Structure 1
Amino acid sequence: MDINFKKNMRYCDKKNNRIIIEGGSPTPEFWDEQSIIKELKKHIESARNERFVSNITAKFIKPDKTKKILEGGCGRGHFVYSLKYNGYDAYGVDFAKETIKKINLVMPDLKVNIGDVRHLDFPDNFFDGYWSLGVIEHFFEGYDEILSEMKRVIKKNGYLFLTFPHMSFLRKLKMKMGLYPPFNANVFDMNLFYHFALDPAKVKSDLEKLGFRMVYSRQLEGIKGLKDEISILNKPLQKIYNSQNFFVRALNYFGAKILAPFSAHAILQVFKRNQ
């Protein structure tokens, strides 16, 4: 049985213990196309009901209007809005200029600006917390500059909340079985690069070298990881993944948790800056 998910090709990079995943280059124009101004304000304000970012943040940083939290790579700004709504001094930066302009138009009080997570326009030791939700994996040249900037702008004893697609047990198994074609940099079309599935142990090690200590970790999206990696399950699981039915969403929620140790698409790592 072929269990490779064919929609977006994956390649094995054994040297760096990661997978290269196609899907279209994530340029500023790519992200700009995702924004539809007619629905933008509604989308942002719906984040007052989100619980993932707000609850995880509150576990480590008590809601306080003096606590500055940055989302680096904020997209359409809904998590910045959620953080503000839940009692923080929230900021967001993104390199998609047109998207940021639209957010500034419909939500002028939201502190979102055009910016590059590799070169942030903030002073040293400025933020109590920094959220990076699925950002570091999109840079083919690596994430070193991003991590260095994280250290620079986060206060001592501040927190970094980091999510990224990772090398799950299922992905490691497929790599070991030779089910991903080997990556060849000489023939790979960079216009097709979307993101990496990264080795969480390496990310942890790289941040520890910068003076961070991991204080929490959780594997995420077990159903997505399964449907993306096993083609025969993609269609039925996609229906569960997209459903708005209460009972199906409950199934998705608990199924994702149960499957996470085996097939989690992503991982959350929380770090405290010690130095």
Structure 2
Amino acid sequence: MRADYTIKDDGALSEEQRLDHHWTENWKKIGNRRRSQWRIKVRPEYKVVRKFAPPAGTDVRVLDGGSGLGEWCILLRDLGYEPYGLDLSTPTIESLRREFPAMNFVREDIRATSFEDNFFDLYISWGTFEHFENGLTDCFKEAYRVLKPGGTLIISVPFYNQRLKEIDAKQGKPEKSGDTEFYQWRLEPHELSEEFKINGFDCKHVEPIYTREGIGRHLHHEYGIPYGNFTRFTSMALNPFANPNKFAHMLIGVAIKI
């Protein structure tokens, strides 16, 4: 695993307050522009969910841990599931409750939710488990608690890919300093598989995703090319020939609660 750090925010905030602030500001930058369903359906996460998720039904409960603008919950509802959205951003959850009063959106910490034991059939979480400095274990333990026996957990986490390993071999891994604070963990495929295993899950699938986005990051960080049309179209052109193990930005994993 490899830790990433970011410039420290002003003020003394708890980890929960910092994450609340971070994600609230993140959704503000996006401008609350919720992705349409067709955009979700071309994402790699959707393909994995459709392959491994239980059949839809109004009694099939799904938790989206780190639900953001609620787009996945809306899609899951339209597919026939009973979705629950959970996020740390208070303004975002309040806005979703006003917009979708009949849906289930809660402001809670995914490490300690108020849901009953064995409540959900499926738990999805995109880029969330990695944001706690003491590791992913608390997120996995809570996921295990709220999932039914045989329930499915599908998560994505940042990938500690070969490109980053090569950089770290030359420069050393990032280290925490006085003006930085923890941001996230990056994992290798075998580490994600092991996290599932030690927390009571049977790992069924792990794969790298978002190779094109990783190429864009490579062009930006290693060559100083600003993000824009050049990096976008160059990434698209190189993507079919690129090695996902070197460039992919994320990992996605699927596991079953034993």
TM-score bucket of the superposed structures, by smaller chain: 0.7 to 0.9
Residues 1:22 and 2:6 are matched in the alignment: yes
Stretches of 4+ aligned residues off by more than 4 angstroms: 23-26, 36-39
Question: Structure 2 vs 1, CA of residues 125 and 102 (structure 1 numbering), >3 Å: closer, same or farther?
Answer: same
Written as runs of structure 1 = structure 2, the 5 A alignment for 1:89-238 is 89-175=82-168, 177-180=169-172, 182-183=174-175, 185=176, 187-190=177-180, 192-230=181-219, 231-233=221-223, 235=225, 238=228
Cα shift at 1:122:
0.6
Partner SS for 1:261: helix
The Cα offsets for residues 105-125 of structure 1, whole Å up to 9 and x where unpaired, read as 122222111111010111111
What corresponds to 2:12 in structure 1?
Answer: none
Partner SS for 2:113: coil
Question: Structure 2 vs 1, CA of residues 240 and 110 (structure 1 numbering), >3 Å: closer, same or farther?
Answer: farther
- Equivalent-residue separation in structure 2 for 1:170 and 1:95 (angstroms): 32
What corresponds to 1:74 in structure 2?
Answer: 67
> Could you tell me whether the CA contact under 8 Å between 2:2 and 2:173 is conserved in 1?
no
Cα shift at 1:255:
1.3
Partner SS for 1:65: coil
Letter in 1 for 2:136: Y
What corresponds to 2:229 in structure 1?
Answer: 239
- Equivalent-residue separation in structure 2 for 1:216 and 1:253 (angstroms): 28
- Equivalent-residue separation in structure 1 for 2:118 and 2:46 (angstroms): 22
Q: How many residues align?
A: 246
Cα shift at 1:240:
5.5
- Equivalent-residue separation in structure 2 for 1:49 and 1:224 (angstroms): 15
Question: Structure 2 vs 1, CA of residues 115 and 223 (structure 1 numbering), >3 Å: closer, same or farther?
Answer: same
Letter in 1 for 2:206: S
Cα shift at 1:252:
2.8
Superposed CA RMSD: 2.9
- Equivalent-residue separation in structure 1 for 2:244 and 2:105 (angstroms): 33
What corresponds to 1:266 in structure 2?
Answer: 250
Cα shift at 1:197:
1.7
What corresponds to 1:4 in structure 2?
Answer: none
Cα shift at 1:201:
2.0
> Could you tell me whether the CA contact under 8 Å between 1:130 and 1:160 is conserved in 2?
yes
- Equivalent-residue separation in structure 1 for 2:189 and 2:179 (angstroms): 26
- Equivalent-residue separation in structure 2 for 1:240 and 1:66 (angstroms): 47
Question: Structure 2 vs 1, CA of residues 269 and 253 (structure 1 numbering), >3 Å: closer, same or farther?
Answer: farther
Question: Structure 2 vs 1, CA of residues 166 and 39 (structure 1 numbering), >3 Å: closer, same or farther?
Answer: closer
Cα shift at 1:241:
6.1
- Equivalent-residue separation in structure 1 for 2:137 and 2:167 (angstroms): 28
- Equivalent-residue separation in structure 1 for 2:70 and 2:4 (angstroms): 27
- Equivalent-residue separation in structure 2 for 1:147 and 1:95 (angstroms): 17
- Equivalent-residue separation in structure 2 for 1:273 and 1:204 (angstroms): 13
Letter in 1 for 2:2: R
Letter in 2 for 1:31: W
Unaligned ranges ≥5, structure 1: 1-16, 243-247
- Equivalent-residue separation in structure 1 for 2:70 and 2:7 (angstroms): 23
- Equivalent-residue separation in structure 1 for 2:123 and 2:238 (angstroms): 28
Unaligned ranges ≥5, structure 2: 10-17
Cα shift at 1:130:
0.5
What corresponds to 1:252 in structure 2?
Answer: 236
TM (normalized to structure 2)?
0.83
What corresponds to 1:10 in structure 2?
Answer: none
TM (normalized to structure 1)?
0.78
Percent of residue pairs bearing the same amino acid type: 23
Partner SS for 1:155: strand
> Could you tell me whether the CA contact under 8 Å between 1:126 and 1:155 is conserved in 2?
yes
- Equivalent-residue separation in structure 2 for 1:178 and 1:37 (angstroms): 34
- Equivalent-residue separation in structure 1 for 2:237 and 2:127 (angstroms): 20
Partner SS for 1:158: strand
